[in-house]
A and B are shown apart, each in its own frame.
Chain A
Amino acid sequence: MSSTQMPQMLSTNFTIDPAQTRLAAEFKHSRPLFSCRFDPTGRFVFAGAQDNLVQRWDLATGQRTELAGHDSWVRGLAFLPGGGCLYSGDYAGRLACWPYAVESPQPMRTHEAHQGWLRSISVCPDGQLIATAGNDNMVRLWSTADGKLVRELAGHNCHVYNAAFDPTGRHLVSADLKGVVKHWDVATSTLVRTLDAAVLWKYDNSFRADIGGIRGMSFSADGRWLACAGITDVTNAFAGVGKPVIVVFDWLTGRAKPPLRPQQDFQGASWGVVYHPTGVVIGVGGGGGGGAMWFWRPDEPQSFFTFKLPAVARDLDLHPDGKRVAVAQFDGVLRVYDISPKPAA
């Protein structure tokens, strides 16, 4: 997930059956989609695209509303707990705050939050702070009350792809292009430790450029595990020839479990990951083989089910009901999939 937040679940019945995954709804836009997020009430789904707009669809009616106020593509989307306010961040470095549920949302506040791309937004579970991460190698904490910058967390030496609060809100992780995952104490803004996900990065000597980045990040609901999505085993950086992979850290020990890989051979990258409350890890991605959504059981490094997608997937989110997954796809369609067991006939 490009903008990481803990799912605020509306349901306690989280039974899923990925093998019965089915399309529940489709929402079309004219440009390839780039990010997506359900709002905490579960009424809307939002998407960023390869334009300067944010799309809002009402899940019940399909009504589409465009939110205009950005200067570049929007990759970061996150909500205050309980709803009311959407934060969005674009590749011009702008952070915007929207009263997202009104008929025609306009930005309440905007900040030039980063030099260069703002890649990720995460909201603290208590709603007091948001964290942003970007290409200026910085992580910044902002007050949700007045929008002011609270603190800057420096230490990454390359583009920061993601930031995420843990479920307690006392800890923040940030992760960069080279697979460096930093654990920060939120109260003191001090670096606690650094975790190593360098398997998600490579410097390609032929092309003389870096490839990698933690493109998606998600804590498990109990805060025990941290999943990081990306690409590994790269043989050709400029053609994107590599394998999608999820690196899962034991949050207590900081040790990585054996990386999660698709059961079937697949070429490309994983662009998003989310922990389902059952402990199942859901990842999406794409590449030369098209798009796919993979499901892993907690202790199995190979996916137990792959759902082929019509197009490359750039992001996903879990609906607060725990039964539906939104996937932002290259063909401009946001698809909502039902992963719950089919009702008995």
Chain B
Amino acid sequence: MLCRYDCGSPEHQITRRSLLAGLAGGAMGTFGISRFAVPAVAEELKSAQKRVLIIFLAGGSSQLETWDPKPNTDTGGPFRAIPTSVPGVHISELLPYSAKQMHRMAIVRGINTAEDDHGQGAYIMETGRRPDNVTRFPALGSVMSKFVGPADSPLPGYIHIQPGGAGYNKQDSAFLGPKFASVSLGDGNPPPNVVRPESLTESADRMRNMLRQRANERFAARRRTAETEAYSYSYEQALQLMERREVFDVSKESPQDLERYGTHDFGRHCLLARRLLENGVTCVKVTHSNYDTHWENFDFHIEQLGEFDRPFASLIGDLADRGLLDSTLVVVMAEFGRTPRINAGLGRDHWSRAWSVALAGCGIQHGAVVGKTNPNGTQVTDREVHGGHLFHTYFRALGLDSKQKYHVGGQPVPVADQTVGPIEELLA
């Protein structure tokens, strides 16, 4: 018999708001995952926590205006290519700050994901699998939260900073269970309800928690289940999170950093990402919106990349300066790229057959450029890869075995698409 968690009391209504609901779900996952007989976690990772930073350029950024410029061709658009800190490697002039960080980065220019739908393209890039109707695979952030995240972190393992609303995204973790799902910070704001309501005194709150703990213990003595344990754990984690709420407060950063990252949302979100990574969050995803430029692609890329470039480059530089880049895998991805053909509205449409991803940090060969497209960018001509190759590469870059398996319902399920392997040239 399962507990009915919500008694309907005002107290419960306070504590069961969105974040806590997420944390409760997360805690349930802690125990739920035991059903899957988790494969061996890489012991060597425990000594130095590894992290993942995903920058997701929502809508599909143009590879021609970012990492694979083709100036003065029929598809190239009006922008020039500029040299980077890696001799011989050029990127779009829209990324002057990123160009100075190229010696810490790598580019994959031969991506062909063969999927031009936003949702499915995102799924491929985030899970390394093509969508099917049988199994939903967990997203990269959830996977790495599970494999390299510390077990006792008071903070969620996977935090998604995004424009718009906050929430808890259990679909991200799929069969890994809700503990590894992402918690979204809408518009970069802290999770709701991390501050004790003014109407509740500290002593009353303490008394209330003691009462809850005693009731839990009494109940658990008779009917201890994974679900009741998860329920109790969620409260403990929430309390720890409330004590560390300043982790989410970007205003604590220096005025110089706030200026360097920019006052716009993406700048603030990148600074928050740095703060979260420094405080031990395993995976942070920052979504920058929006690049779905079917019309006036060039004007919009000036505007969007004008926001992206400096804070992104600042983040890479800061992670390096603070000694975190070597243990943080950075991936700049989107659902797909954009058509080399420029349409009548000066836009570019969806294009998954030849596009690029940028990486940096942990396990990545600095300055590497892997893959090549033809002169006007319509086809991959060398080292064609897809989301599966990238997923293997992420595992390997973080020091994990990409051939290991989950055990879902007693069945072995490879962590990555076993028909392909990592991009070895990209690995340090």
Q: Is residue A106 within 8 Å, beta carbon to beta carbon, of the partner chain?
A: no
Asked whether B74 lies within 8 Å of A311 as measured between CB atoms, the reply is no
Q: Is residue A320 within 8 Å, beta carbon to beta carbon, of the partner chain?
A: no
User: Could you say which of A32, A52, A208, A240 contacts B72, with CB atoms under 8 Å apart?
Assistant: A52
Residues of A within 8 A of B265 (CB): 208
Residues of B within 8 A of A312 (CB): 344-345
User: Could you say which of B72, B74, B80, B294 contacts A238, with CB atoms under 8 Å apart?
Assistant: B294
- Chain B proximity of A12: nearest CB distance (Å): 38
Q: Is residue A59 within 8 Å, beta carbon to beta carbon, of the partner chain?
A: no
Asked whether A92 lies within 8 Å of B80 as measured between CB atoms, the reply is yes
Report the nearest B residue to A234, measured CB to CB: B295
Asked whether B342 lies within 8 Å of A32 as measured between CB atoms, the reply is yes
Asked whether B79 lies within 8 Å of A238 as measured between CB atoms, the reply is no
Q: Is residue A27 within 8 Å, beta carbon to beta carbon, of the partner chain?
A: no
Residues of A within 8 A of B296 (CB): 211, 240
Q: Could you jot down 17 A-B contacts, CB within 8 Å?
A: A30-B74, A50-B74, A51-B74, A72-B79, A72-B80, A90-B78, A116-B302, A208-B265, A208-B290, A210-B303, A238-B295, A238-B347, A240-B294, A240-B296, A268-B345, A287-B345, A312-B345
Q: Is residue A264 within 8 Å, beta carbon to beta carbon, of the partner chain?
A: no
Residue among B292, B300, B302, B344 with the most chain A CB within 10 A?
B344
- Chain B proximity of A94: nearest CB distance (Å): 11
Residue among A72, A73, A210, A311 with the most chain B CB within 10 A?
A72
Q: Is residue B59 within 8 Å, beta carbon to beta carbon, of the partner chain?
A: yes
Residues of B within 8 A of A330 (CB): 344
A340 to B278, CA, bound (A): 72
Asked whether B345 lies within 8 Å of A240 as measured between CB atoms, the reply is yes
- Chain B proximity of A90: nearest CB distance (Å): 8
Q: Is residue B18 within 8 Å, beta carbon to beta carbon, of the partner chain?
A: no
- Count residues on chain A whose CB falls below 8 Å from chain B CBs: 33
Q: Which residues of B contact A (CB under 8 A)?
A: 59, 72, 74, 78-80, 163, 265, 289-290, 292-296, 299-300, 302-304, 342, 344-345, 347
Residues of B within 8 A of A268 (CB): 345
Interface contacts beyond A117-B78, A238-B59, A238-B293: sample of 9 additional A-B pairs, CB < 8 Å, sorted by A: A72-B78, A116-B302, A117-B302, A135-B302, A208-B290, A210-B303, A240-B294, A286-B345, A312-B344
- Chain A proximity of B344: nearest CB distance (Å): 4
A28 to B154, CA, bound (A): 67
Q: Is residue A239 within 8 Å, beta carbon to beta carbon, of the partner chain?
A: yes
Residues of B within 8 A of A207 (CB): 59, 289-290, 292, 300
Q: Is residue A206 within 8 Å, beta carbon to beta carbon, of the partner chain?
A: yes
Residues of B within 8 A of A101 (CB): none
Closest 5 CB pairs of A and B: A240-B295, A91-B78, A207-B290, A73-B78, A312-B344
- Chain B proximity of A134: nearest CB distance (Å): 12
**1/0 per residue A26-53: CB within 8 Å of B?**
0000111000000000000000001110
Q: Is residue A237 within 8 Å, beta carbon to beta carbon, of the partner chain?
A: yes
